[in-house]
Every structure is written in structure tokens, then in C-alpha cells.
Amino acid sequence: MPTVDEKRRAFRDLHASGCFVMPNPWDVGSARWLQHLGFPALATTSAGAAFGLGLPDSDAAVGCEVALAHVAAVAAATDVPVNADFASGYARAPEDVAANVGRCLGAGIAGLSIEDATDDPAAPLLDFTLAVERVRAAAEAAGPKVVLTARAECFLVGRPDLDETVRRLHAYADAGADCLFAPGLRTRDEIAAVVAAVAPKAVNVLVGAASGFTVDELAGLGVRRLSVGSGLARTAWGGFVRAARALAGEGRFDAMADATPHAELDAFFRADLPHRPDRTPG
């Protein structure tokens, strides 16, 4: 298995040119399966992990300790670089964000993201100056080896203001972010505007649902990195919910026809077992 430094170098190199897909597993099993498919990097999903714990996607519900344990487990289970969805940094003050970023580095990640949303419906975005200072503090804590992604959450929190999004991302880039991310962008014009605003720094685009976009089309717009957020986790939940509702409501088992065969999954994880760093000895 590559060392953490080797994973970090590989992850930074991925951001230098071209476009790569970085899907989001929600647990160790899904991470190993995605690695098996050949993706060059993976990213955790705070929502996918929270739903698996029976919790909402909220810093208040899933605290820093739980998030760090999850990130560490996924990073240790894979040979490819892992980017941590580190939510708000699990703190408000810049110095506290920096301290938590330092702890996240200890989980073996190659990159992490920090967002500027709050849990306050009346003020869903952090004050601009504070948000920039938090990114600057996170960048200093991350250092030159770890890729820091700064997120402007405007579109996700009901403030779909492209000018404000660009203003924030541009400031985050100046504050030291290596990659910029505005989840919720929907149109080619919005994506192209963000790419142009922060060039030559990398831009991540989220495609978390069925979309008319293809990877090649987004690459053509200058997007450097593509992620799916909780999309794969929710796809798995979709199959589970449909099958469970059919069983509870109609007494039918038809929805399990699309289930991946036990033999296929068991064979994969049996073959993977000798390479697992956390396998039980003997």
C-alpha cells in the first residue's frame, strides 16, 4: 500500500491538468469496491456517512470525533488518495478550524474540504470576512502537501447568487485554497463562470443526481475534478427503500430482483481480504 505522502503527491498531481472523477463511498466496503473499478481518488461524504448512522447531515448530529474516525477508516482501507468531506471544520473560529484540520491530517487523508454554511436558517452563510479567515487558517494548517478545497455553499442553502459565489471562491483562492467548489451549480454558464473566475486553480463540480452532463462535457468546460456527493449512497438507499416499501406495503419481494448477487460480493471481499490493513490476524 502507498504511504500517506505518496497518496498526497498523487492527489496533488491529479489536480495539475485534465479532469478526473472522484466518487464518494459512504463506508469501507463501498470504498474498496470503487477503488476496484479504477477510480484514481475517492472522497468521503458527510451525508452518506450520517445516513448510515441513522443521523441527519449536520455537524451538530455527527461530531468531529465521529467524522474523524470515519475518514480514518476509509483512508486506511484504500490504496488511492482520499479527500475528506470535513463539513465546516467542526468549529467556527479560524484557530479552532485550523486545529481540527491538523487532526484530520492525522487520519491519513490526501485532501479535505471546508464549507461556509451554517446551521442557522436565518443566516445560512458565514460572514464573508470570517469565511475567508477560516479558509486561510485551514490552508496554513493543511500545508503544501494536502489539497485544500474551499466550498461556497450559496446555491445549496437557497442563495443562488452567482456573483456572491464567485466573490467567495475568488477570495478563498487568494486565501490559499487549492481547489474551489460551489455545489449546486446547474448550468454550463454557471460552471464556466466559476472556472474562469478562479483559473488557473482547480474547480470541483458536484453531479449528485441524474444529469444531462457527461464527464467529457464537464472536462471541456475546464472542470478539473468531479464528485457525486451522497449520490451513490442515496442510490443504494433508493433500492433499499423501494424493496422495503414493497415488502411492507404489498408483501412482495420483486424489488430484490436487482440486488447484487451474494456470491459476487462475497467473492470480491474474500479476494480483497489479504490486502486489508485492518483484517483480523489468523
Predicted confidence at residue 282, as pLDDT, reads 33
Sign of the dihedral through C-alpha 156, 137, 129, 174: negative
Q: Smallest Cα–Cα separation from 21: which of 8, 37, 40?
A: 40
DSSP string, the chain: ---HHHHHHHHHHHTTSS-EE----SSHHHHHHHHHTT-S-EE--HHHHHHHTT--S-TTTS-HHHHHHHHHHHHHT-SS-EEEE-TT-S-SSHHHHHHHHHHHHTTT-SEEEEE-B-S-TTS-B--HHHHHHHHHHHHHHHTTTSEEEEE--TTTTT---HHHHHHHHHHHHHTT-SEEE-TT--SHHHHHHHHHHHTTSEEEEE--S--S--HHHHHHTT--EEE-TTHHHHHHHHHHHHHHHHHHHH---GGGGGSPPHHHHHHHHHHHGGG-TTPPP-
- Distance (Å, rounded) from C-alpha 281 to C-alpha 259? 31
Predicted confidence at residue 275, as pLDDT, reads 62
Residue 76: φ, ψ to 5°: -70, -20
Q: Retrieve residue 123's grid coordinates.
A: 443566516
Predicted confidence at residue 276, as pLDDT, reads 65
Q: CB-based burial of residue 150 (10 Å sphere; 0-12 exposed, 13-18 middle, 19+ buried)? A: buried
- Distance (Å, rounded) from C-alpha 247 to C-alpha 69? 34
- The pLDDT profile of the chain, 282 residues, written as one tens digit per residue, is 899 999 999 999 999 999 999 999 999 999 999 999 999 999 999 999 999 999 999 998 999 999 999 999 999 999 999 999 999 999 999 999 999 999 999 999 999 999 999 989 999 999 999 999 999 999 999 999 999 999 999 999 999 999 999 999 999 999 999 999 999 999 999 999 999 999 999 999 999 998 889 999 999 999 999 999 999 999 999 999 999 999 999 999 999 999 999 999 999 999 977 666 555 433
What residues contact 126, with CB distance under 8 A and at least 6 apart?
92, 116, 117, 118, 134
- Distance (Å, rounded) from C-alpha 85 to C-alpha 67? 9
Count other C-beta atoms under 10 Å from residue 107's C-beta. 22
